[in-house]
Amino acid sequence: MKVPFVDLKAQYLTIKGDIDSAIADVINETAFIGGKYVNNFEAEFAEKYGVKHCISVANGTDSLYIIMKMLGIGPGDEVITVANSWISTSETITQTGATPVFVDIDPVYYTINEDLIAAKISPKTKAILPVHLYGQVCDMNKIMQLAKDNGLFVIEDCAQSHFSTFAGQRAGTMGIAGSFSFYPGKNLGAYGDAGCIITNDDDLADKCKTFARHGAKIKHKHIMEGINSRLDGLQAAILSKKLPHILDWTQIRIEKAALYSRLLADVAEVVCPVVRPDTTHSFHLYVVKVQRRAALIDYLSAQGIDTAIHYPTSLPLLPAYDYLNYSAETIPVSHENQSQILSLPMYPELSDDAIEWVVNAIKSFYSAN
C-alpha cells in the first residue's frame, strides 16, 4: 500500500463540483484581484473566528511581516520566538529590521518553553511571537501574562493551527493579531499561495490593509509606501468552498491522531504527541519521536510510506543565523529533538487501514532492528 505524506487530490475529489464551479465563476466574472470573492472570504473567515477583522494577504510569511511592521517593530528591536519553526517565523522578524531572540522548546509539547521567555526579555524586546506548531497551542495564559507585565505585543503564528483552541478560545484571537497561511498543504489550503491576518484592533487592521495594498486606501491616494500582498480571487473562491468543511476536517484529523496514538501505545521506541490540557490540537502534523530515525525512514519508504521532518535543523542552528552565535547548548531540547522527530502521514482522507499499515510497518521495523 502506498501512503503519501499528504494527498491533496483526495480532498479535491470530495468537493470537486463546488471547486470547479467556483473557479469557473471567478473566470467568467474576471474577478481576479480584489472584488466579491476576496471580500466574501474575509468576511466568512472573520465570522468563523468571531473577530472584527480579517485582512487577506498573499501568503503566511507576508502576514507575519505586515503585522510586525505595522506594529512599528523595526531596527534596534527584539522579538522573542521559538527555536523550532518554519523559517518564515524568524525571517520576517529580520525583514522588519528587528532581531529574533530564540527560546528553546518545551520537552513535552514541543512549542516554545514559556518558562524560559522571561529571562530573554530585555529593554529592546517589543513582542513575543509564539508558534502553535503542528496544531498544538502554546500556553497562552503564561504568554499573555508575560506580555502584559512587560508591555509587549503577542503575535500568534497560526500557520499550522487553524481552529486549534486554548481554554475555549481559538488560537489567533488571544494576541494582538493572528497570522495564517493557506499554503496548499496547510489544514485550510488554497490551490496556490495565500494567507491572512486576523485582529480585533481597528487601528492595526486599517494599517495592515493599507500597507498590503501599496499604502493606499483609495486608488492612487498613497498615504505611505506599502507592498503588494493580495489574495487573488481564485484562491479566495476556493477557500470559501473549503471553509464550511474545516471543523469536520479538523475533527477527523483529531480522530486519526488518536488512532495512531492508540496503535503506537505499546511501541517503546516511539513517543506519541501529548496534547496540552484544555486545548484542541488541530493536528496539522502528527509528530512522533523515534529511535534510529534514519533507518526507520528508509524502511518505511521502502514500504511506500512517506514521512517528513519538521524541522531537521533548529532555526538558530541554521547557517542563516550563524551571525547570532547560538550553539546547541543554548537550545538543548530543540537540538535533541531535531534528530528524533518524525512526521507521519496525516490528512483527513487518510484511511484507518493506511494508519494501521503505517503502524504495523513501524512495529516490524523495531522487532527486526
Ligand X SMILES: *Cc1c(COP(=O)(O)O)cnc(C)c1O
By CB under 6 A, residue 229 contacts ligand X: no
- Per-residue mark of binding to ligand X, 194-223 (x: CB under 6 A): -x----------------------------
Which residue in 37, 49, 166, 183 binds ligand X (CB under 6 A)?
Answer: 183
Q: Which is nearer to ligand X, 49 or 182 (CB)?
A: 182
The CA distance from 157 to 195, in Å, is 11
Least separation in angstroms between residue 365's CB and ligand X is: 28
The CA distance from 59 to 65, in Å, is 10
Which residue in 38, 159, 205, 270 binds ligand X (CB under 6 A)?
Answer: 159
R_g of the chain computed on alpha carbons? 21
Residue entry with cell 470559501? 240
By CB under 6 A, residue 175 contacts ligand X: no
The CA distance from 110 to 139, in Å, is 11
Least separation in angstroms between residue 84's CB and ligand X is: 10
By CB under 6 A, residue 157 contacts ligand X: yes
By CB under 6 A, residue 131 contacts ligand X: yes
Using CB under 6 A, which of the segments 155-163, 249-257, 298-306, 319-327 binds ligand X?
155-163
* Full strand arrangement of the beta sheet holding 165-166: 169-170, 165-166, 279-280
Three-state SS for 30-61 is CCCECCHHHHHHHHHHHHHHCCCEEEEECCHH
Q: Which is nearer to ligand X, 93 or 354 (CB)?
A: 93
Least separation in angstroms between residue 341's CB and ligand X is: 14
Least separation in angstroms between residue 246's CB and ligand X is: 16
Q: Which is nearer to ligand X, 178 or 348 (CB)?
A: 178
Using CB under 6 A, which of the segments 41-49, 135-143, 156-164, 300-308 binds ligand X?
156-164
Give the list of residues 6+ apart from residue 169 with CB closer than 8 angstroms, or none. 140
Least separation in angstroms between residue 311's CB and ligand X is: 9
Least separation in angstroms between residue 68's CB and ligand X is: 13
Least separation in angstroms between residue 91's CB and ligand X is: 9
Which residue in 181, 235, 314, 343 binds ligand X (CB under 6 A)?
Answer: 181
- For residue 146 the three cell numbers come to 508575560
Q: Which is nearer to ligand X, 114 or 263 (CB)?
A: 114
Q: How many amino acids of this chain bind ligand X (CB under 6 A)?
A: 15
CB 153 within 8 A of CB 168: no
Torsion on CA atoms 181, 87, 308, 187, rounded to nearest 10: -10
Give the list of residues 6+ apart from residue 279 with CB closer than 8 angstroms, or none. 136, 137, 164, 165, 166, 167
Least separation in angstroms between residue 265's CB and ligand X is: 28
Q: Which is nearer to ligand X, 291 or 313 (CB)?
A: 313
The 8-class DSSP code of residue 322 comes to G
Q: Which is nearer to ligand X, 63 or 361 (CB)?
A: 63
CB 267 within 8 A of CB 365: no
- Per-residue mark of binding to ligand X, 52-91 (x: CB under 6 A): -------xxx-----------------------xx-xx--
Q: Which is nearer to ligand X, 60 or 233 (CB)?
A: 60
The 8-class DSSP code of residue 291 comes to S
Give the list of residues 6+ apart from residue 7 with CB closer than 8 angstroms, or none. 347, 349, 350
The CA distance from 100 to 79, in Å, is 5
The contact set with ligand X (CB under 6 A) reads 59-61, 85-86, 88-89, 131, 157, 159-160, 181, 183, 193, 195
